[in-house]
Structure 1
Amino acid sequence: MTEPTPPQLKPMPDDWRRALAVVAHPDDLEYGCSAAIAQWTDEGREVTYVLATRGEAGIDTLAPAECGPLREREQRASAAVVGVTEVEFLDHRDGVIEYGVPLRRDIAAAVRRHRPELVITLNHRDTWGGVAWNTPDHVAVGRATLDAVGDAGNRWIFPELTERGLAPWNGVRWVAVAGSSTPTHAVDATAGLERAVRSLLEHRAYIEALTDEEPEAYVRSFLTGNARSTGERFGGVPAVAFELFSR
């Protein structure tokens, strides 16, 4: 008996101008979807990054006080490679982010501040494809992002944000989840893939602590392999996949 053929992925919507990407750590977007972001900024769209932490607990051989500033610098450099100039950090603690009202409030504030039409986050489910356990930080931030989009548009939730001059924003039309095992849409990565490789390579200190492989070989293999695999469901071109939730 043959396995059923997965359905083809649909093109992502393109009738938007501003996006906000909200993830837990430096490097999350570079592993997840930066080739798509490079394509979007090439088209003149605005993309802003918001990170819940500075990744200060991510390198075993570096104390958090040293690691956090290093990873922040790497993140800003990697964002610049794909045309993103605005990068914000919410300063939740790396490794112990808690899903809850404070996190929702911080993300809702970012949504109100930047007023995006598209919000991007990372896999919020317990596993990666049912075979690898996800980290609690990814789960907390992904889930909180999905919830905070609704919070941002409701004037009676977090009224203190309105008092701070952040008016409700109900203009988010989609939330796109990168790294999902059940994607629905994709973006052609052909034009952005080389910049995605360079962008992830900016996280050199993290990558060198993560693997003994030569960094560029490791990065290129990971990103091009994922893009080719996704492309099998997107007309045969390298692609970045998203699970798209409409609002």
Structure 2
Amino acid sequence: MTDPIPSPLPGGGVPGGPVSSVDLPTPGRALVIGAHPDDAEFLCGATLAKWAARGCVINHLVLTDGSKGTWDVDADVAALVARRETEQLEAARRLGSRGKVVMLGHVDGDLQPSLHVRDQVAYWIRALTPDVVLGHDPWKRYRLHPDHRHAGWLAVDAVVAARDPHFARHHDVAHHRPSAMLLFEADEPDHVEDVTDFVDTKVEALLAHASQFVTTHDIPPDDDGTAAAAFRARITARAETVGATAGVAAGEAFKAITRL
């Protein structure tokens, strides 16, 4: 049996016209909320690297355990979960993160936008006090993977719960209102972060997720470097395409929400 044909690399939306804004002020603290290990690196890794280089404390909140991230029907799932956590820690280090990497450990593919999980996410927004929260855009049409949809709703709903003092009063931390959200994978992105000079850092962080080379990166185990170079070229080309919409050399695109 042959392996399935790899899906296109995750990359988020490309603005269809002029963007409304370029570059938020560098936040003091940021929190990226991803459905799986490697989602943050694919969808906003260069932005995180840029902010980290400018002194921002980057935090990761990964909602699932990544246990479905293989095509090997005989895989040791427990070992895969442990490996993906290790890879996520290394990817964050390569981005320059000085914050926390929190793995909630919900089963990959079974994530639900429940009150329980919203409570968990809201707690970490309050505890980490990010100025900017980044997450999946839950309004994206025709999204196939349920974890991405649900992670988007959890991020948006948890920002509301975190900011208002009468939600989750059992938390041992005060309520917190971020100043902005940047939603990746948006159908109608209107904001670009100029990531010129940070795309290579994004690629290096993605290459920390070695367990995903076959399933997502399209890098075979016996690669002589050719497939890895092609992977780098695809990531770079996408950043250049997005950047061109904002008049910069390389970019990452988001739907910006600045009234929270």
TM-score (norm 2): 0.85
Deviations 1:218-237 (A, max 9, x none): 43133112101101211141
Q: Distance in 2 between matches of 1:109 and 1:187?
A: 27
Contact 1:75 1:202 in 2 (8 A): yes
Deviations 1:149-205 (A, max 9, x none): 1101222211121xxx211112x1111011212111111111211111111011112
Q: Distance in 2 between matches of 1:67 and 1:16?
A: 34
Residue 199 (structure 2) aligns with? 193
What percent identity do the matched residue pairs reach? Answer: 26
Q: Distance in 2 between matches of 1:154 and 1:73?
A: 34
Residue 159 (structure 1) aligns with? 169
User: Which shifted more, 221-230 or 65-74?
Assistant: 221-230
Q: Does 1:57 align with 2:106?
A: no
Which amino acid is the alignment partner of residue 43 of structure 2? G
Structure 2 alignment gaps of length 5 or more: 1-15
Residue 67 (structure 1) aligns with? 80
Deviations 1:14-64 (A, max 9, x none): 053111111110110111111111110110111100100121121132232
Residue 117 of structure 1: how far off its partner (Å): 1.1
Matches for 1:1-247 after TM superposition, within 5 Å: 6-14=17-25, 16-61=27-72, 62-85=75-98, 86-127=100-141, 133-161=143-171, 165-170=172-177, 172-210=178-216, 211=218, 214=223, 215-246=227-258, 247=260
Contact 1:22 1:120 in 2 (8 A): yes
Q: Distance in 2 between matches of 1:212 and 1:75?
A: 18
Which amino acid is the alignment partner of residue 81 of structure 1? R
- The structure-2 alpha-carbon separation of the partners of 1:152 and 1:236, relative to structure 1 and needing over 3 Å to count, comes to closer
Q: Distance in 2 between matches of 1:73 and 1:90?
A: 14
Contact 2:66 2:84 in 1 (8 A): yes
Q: Distance in 2 between matches of 1:66 and 1:60?
A: 14
Contact 2:27 2:132 in 1 (8 A): yes
Q: Distance in 1 between matches of 2:255 and 2:140?
A: 15
Contact 2:118 2:157 in 1 (8 A): yes
TM-score (norm 1): 0.89
Q: Distance in 2 between matches of 1:167 and 1:79?
A: 27
Q: Distance in 2 between matches of 1:22 and 1:236?
A: 26
Residue 245 of structure 1: how far off its partner (Å): 0.8
Structure 1 alignment gaps of length 5 or more: none
Residue 99 of structure 1: how far off its partner (Å): 0.9
Contact 1:201 1:219 in 2 (8 A): no
